[in-house]
Structure 1
Amino acid sequence: MFSGIVETTSEIVRLTRSRGILTISVKTPKGFHARRGDSVSINGVCSTVVGGSRGTIKFEYMPETLRRTNLGELKVGETVNLERSLTPNSLLGGHFVSGHIDTVGRIRRVSREGDSKTLEIAVPKTFFPLVAPKGSVAVEGVSLTVVEKSKDGFSVALIPYTLSHTNLSTKRVGGDVNLEFDIFAKYLKEMLKFFPYAATRKGERR
């Protein structure tokens, strides 16, 4: 479990593929301690440390992860967001983020207002019920607030601190971003499947 408050960023130094497995190695940031078996969020994806040497940390990803995320599009030299998993005494500065990506969204517009930026992101319609204005969403592992909901997506605002401490400052129109919607909204959506009349007026059938 994570909070969506990115600790640091790092650079990809090596990418390899073998028998369907993608292995990503990143530089170990100063003061970022991660041991084999630890969980680390990379661009919002819950990842297991499988090794590392000479100042690097290594992770592996199976085909299912690559189908649901944008990790397969990454290239050597790109910057990724890193966050270690929460502990019982961690501050929860963002919101509960599981690291299980729901879908990939596409940036359709980037606008600037002063020193801040706004990203407009298109998402598949099946995820629309999980988007709420002023609700929480994780974009590339960053805990953000939905500014507005549109007919085919939503927008988020990025303050200067977020732009300087995450990789969201590098995102451009047409780029894909990992999205994880609020965990409570997802459970509520599933629960409503067992109460077919919960969303209608009393006594009114669909």
Structure 2
Amino acid sequence: MFTGIIEDLGIIKKLYAEGENLHITVQTSLTPELKIDQSVAHNGVCLTVVSIGVDNYIVTAIKETLDKTNLGKLKIGDIVNIERAMRLGDRLDGHIVQGHVDQTAECISVIEENGSWVFTFRYDRSYNNITIEKGSITVNGVSLTVVNSKINEFSVAIIPYTYEHTTFKTLNTGDVVNLEFDVIGKYVKRLNDLRS
């Protein structure tokens, strides 16, 4: 489990394809605190640490993960949002995040508004995911509050701290992001669908 509160930015140092798997080498200041078999979220995608070096570590993404997330689009030098799994007993500063991406979305608008930013995203509604006004959403692993919720579109307001300490500072119109919809909302929607 994660909270959507980003701990660090990782730099992609190496990408190595083996069959349909992609081995991703990430450099981050958190490396000395990691251990093999630990779960770490990368742009909101939970991956297992399989190897650790001096200042970097390796995770492996399988084909399904590459098909359903933006990790298959990574290039050497890209930055990713990094979060380690939450510890039992810690404060839950964001919201409950599983690290299981539901789908991707495209950034369709970035507007600067007096020192903050409003990012708008459009997603494929055929997956039957929903947002609600003032509900929670995870974008590239960042826990955020939905504003301007529509059927297949929503916006989020980004404060300067979040902008500077996450990949939002590099996000542009046309970029693809990972979405994890609120887990409680997903269960409620599923129960409602079963009753229909």
Shared fold per TM-score greater than 0.5 = yes
Alignment partners' CA distance in 1, 2:152 and 2:35: 41
Q: CA deviation at 1:150?
A: 3.2
- 1:121 matched to 2:121? The reply is yes
**Equivalent residue number for residue 58 of structure 1:** 58
CA deviation vs aligned residue, 1:53-95 (integer Å, no higher than 9, x gap): 1311110010000111000001000111100001112210000
- 1:180 matched to 2:180? The reply is yes
Letter paired with 1:131: T
- 1:21 matched to 2:21? The reply is yes
CA deviation vs aligned residue, 1:5-24 (integer Å, no higher than 9, x gap): 00111111000101111010
Letter paired with 1:54: V
Alignment partners' CA distance in 2, 1:69 and 1:177: 8
Letter paired with 1:18: E
Q: Would the aligned equivalents of 1:128 and 1:153 in 2 still touch at CA under 8 Å?
A: no
Q: CA deviation at 1:149?
A: 1.5
Residues 32 and 187 (structure 1 numbering): CA distance in 2 closer, same or farther, change over 3 Å? farther
- 1:159 matched to 2:174? The reply is no
Q: Helix, strand or coil for the counterpart of 1:191?
A: helix
Q: Percent identity?
A: 39
Deviates more, 1:20-29 or 1:171-180: 20-29
Letter paired with 1:82: I
- Which structure would you say has the larger Rg? 1
Residues 138 and 69 (structure 1 numbering): CA distance in 2 closer, same or farther, change over 3 Å? same
**Equivalent residue number for residue 11 of structure 2:** 11
Structure 1 spans left out of the alignment, 5+ residues: 197-206
Q: CA deviation at 1:129?
A: 5.2
Q: CA deviation at 1:193?
A: 2.9
CA deviation vs aligned residue, 1:106-141 (integer Å, no higher than 9, x gap): 001100012111101001113565200100000000
TM-score normalised over the length of structure 2: 0.96
Residues 37 and 186 (structure 1 numbering): CA distance in 2 closer, same or farther, change over 3 Å? same
Structure 2 spans left out of the alignment, 5+ residues: none
Q: Where do residues 1-206 of structure 1 align in structure 2 (5 Å cutoff)?
A: 1-29=1-29, 33-126=33-126, 130-196=130-196
Residues 162 and 65 (structure 1 numbering): CA distance in 2 closer, same or farther, change over 3 Å? same
Q: Helix, strand or coil for the counterpart of 1:130?
A: coil
TM-score normalised over the length of structure 1: 0.91
Q: CA deviation at 1:157?
A: 0.6
Q: CA deviation at 1:152?
A: 3.5
Deviates more, 1:23-32 or 1:97-106: 23-32
Letter paired with 1:4: G
Letter paired with 2:125: K
Alignment partners' CA distance in 1, 2:79 and 2:22: 17
Deviates more, 1:150-159 or 1:177-186: 150-159
How many residue pairs end up in the alignment?
196
Q: Helix, strand or coil for the counterpart of 2:33?
A: coil
Q: Would the aligned equivalents of 2:120 and 2:154 in 1 still touch at CA under 8 Å?
A: yes
